[in-house]
């Protein structure tokens, strides 16, 4: 029987992978915290990686944003040949990376609009300038295999602002990821990713589950305009009924808001039934405010489990 991630020791966490990690999250009953950091930015504290800071402030898992599997660059770890493996050694946490399935149709539509010709369809129309991503950050067979080889425990299929990632491209990416990556597959949008399409599209989300996704990302209540508790609660129930987990994501820079806002978001998402609570990278050092990770943890699981995660020796 897999031990719940909430109360697992470092040695037990290191042994979790794939289906066992998913079960360990499920068994934690909505009390798992994920922090995210941009690896191309200078870390919050010189001499300490952001992953280590987040671990110290009670995070259970970490997402590395803007990680390029080809260059393997992580600011502060420039001389490290495999930063993912090294950070896992330093933190004893499951680590994942973002890979972005850019919709090719978005690029074509954007180019046509720039030339003043036929505009793209409304659902593919960009709301901001299109950002071009290097191959090592996009979803492909090669990047998925590289992530596996470098030791990523999970892949997060999503879109940063202005990248042109659509729900359609996310669905296709899930199918590809299940072929070439053995870890957990997270998928969904934290915000519009620059496109004029619904951030929370029920049919698209359920299609992600049918395609094999393990964890569905949904905007945390109170982060994306018009997305409230009632809608999220109903959708979370449908997703979990199909066997997938859910993660409430804060990708709107509210990860740098005041503590009261974080508490309100945390409790709202607990009421919605989310399995995982996420804070994004939109603050100083391109990671969540450490105090907000602590505030989130105290709100959803109290001092007992918060202090357990903060105090635990990595030698256990």
Structure tokens at 55: 């671990």
Q: Across the chain, what does the average pLDDT equal?
A: 90
126 in a structural domain: yes
Whether the per-residue pLDDT at 71 is higher than 90: the answer is yes
Q: Average pLDDT for residues 77-87, to the nearest whole number?
A: 94
Q: Structure pTM?
A: 0.90
The beta-strand segments (E) located in 142-294 are 154-157, 184-188, 215-219, 245-249, 276-279
Whole-number pLDDT of residue 129: 62
Q: Average pLDDT for residues 122-148, to the nearest whole number?
A: 82
Between 32 and 168, whose confidence is greater? 32
316 in a structural domain: no
Asked if residue 13 lies in contact with residue 308, where contact means CB atoms within 8 angstroms, the answer is no
Domain count, the chain: 1
Whether the per-residue pLDDT at 143 is higher than 50: the answer is yes
* 3-class SS of residue 35: strand
Q: Average pLDDT for residues 291-297, to the nearest whole number?
A: 98
What are the tens digits of pLDDT across the range 237-284? 999 999 999 999 999 999 999 999 999 999 999 999 999 999 999 999
Q: Closest Cα to residue 61, out of 152, 125, 124, 132? A: 152
Whole-number pLDDT of residue 193: 52
Q: Average pLDDT for residues 13-37, to the nearest whole number?
A: 96
Whole-number pLDDT of residue 115: 39
Domain interval for residue 166: 5-311
Q: Categorize the per-residue pLDDT at 305 as very low, low, confident or very high, splitting at 50, 70 and 90.
A: very high
**148/100 Cα distance (integer angstroms):** 16
Q: Closest Cα to residue 21, out of 103, 114, 88, 107? A: 88
237 in a structural domain: yes
287 in a structural domain: yes
Between 101 and 108, whose confidence is greater? 101
Where residue 36 sits, what CATH number does that domain have? 3.20.20.70
Q: Average pLDDT for residues 296-301, to the nearest whole number?
A: 98
Whether the per-residue pLDDT at 109 is higher than 70: the answer is no
Backbone angles phi, psi at 280, to 5 degrees: -80, -165
What are the tens digits of pLDDT across the range 182-234? 999 999 987 655 555 677 889 999 999 999 999 999 999 999 988 999 999 99
Whole-number pLDDT of residue 315: 85
Sorted by sequence, the CB contacts under 8 Å of residue 158 that are 6+ apart come out as 98, 100, 165, 170, 186, 187, 188, 189, 190, 193, 217
What is the torsional sign of CA 82, 98, 18, 307?
positive
* 3-class SS of residue 112: helix
Whether the per-residue pLDDT at 14 is higher than 80: the answer is yes
Percentage of the chain beyond pLDDT 70 is 89
87 in a structural domain: yes
Q: Categorize the per-residue pLDDT at 108 as very low, low, confident or very high, splitting at 50, 70 and 90.
A: very low
* 3-class SS of residue 36: strand
């Amino acid at each position: 029987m897999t031990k719940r991630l909430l109360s697992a020791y470092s040695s037990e966490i290191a042994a979790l992978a794939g289906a066992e990690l998913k079960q360990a999250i499920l068994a934690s009953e909505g009390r798992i915290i994920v922090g995210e950091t941009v690896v191309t930015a200078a870390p919050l504290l010189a001499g300490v990686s952001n992953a280590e800071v987040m671990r110290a402030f009670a995070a259970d898992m970490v997402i590395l944003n803007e990680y390029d599997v080809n260059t393997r660059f992580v600011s502060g770890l420039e001389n490290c040949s495999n930063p993912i493996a090294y950070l896992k050694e330093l933190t004893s946490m499951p680590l994942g990376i973002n890979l972005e399935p850019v919709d090719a149709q978005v690029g074509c539509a954007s180019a046509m609009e720039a030339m003043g010709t036929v505009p793209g369809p409304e659902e593919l129309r960009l709301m901001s300038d299109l950002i071009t991503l290097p191959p090592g950050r996009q979803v492909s067979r090669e990047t998925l295999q590289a992530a596996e080889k470098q030791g990523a425990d999970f892949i997060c299929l999503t879109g940063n602002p202005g990248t042109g990632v659509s729900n359609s491209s996310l669905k296709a990416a899930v199918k590809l990821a299940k072929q070439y990556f053995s870890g957990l597959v997270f998928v969904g949008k934290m915000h519009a990713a620059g496109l004029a399409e619904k951030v929370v599209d029920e049919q698209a989300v359920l299609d992600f589950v049918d395609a094999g996704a393990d964890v569905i990302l949904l905007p945390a209540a109170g982060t994306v305009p018009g997305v409230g508790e009632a809608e999220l609660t109903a959708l979370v129930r449908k997703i979990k009924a199909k066997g997938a987990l859910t993660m409430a994501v804060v990708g709107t820079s509210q990860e740098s808001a005041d503590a009261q806002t974080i508490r309100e978001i945390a409790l709202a998402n607990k009421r919605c039934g989310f399995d995982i609570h996420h804070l994004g990278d939109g603050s100083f050092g391109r990671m969540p405010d450490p105090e907000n990770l602590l505030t989130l943890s105290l709100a959803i699981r109290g001092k007992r489990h918060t202090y357990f995660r903060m105090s635990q020796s990595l030698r256990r």
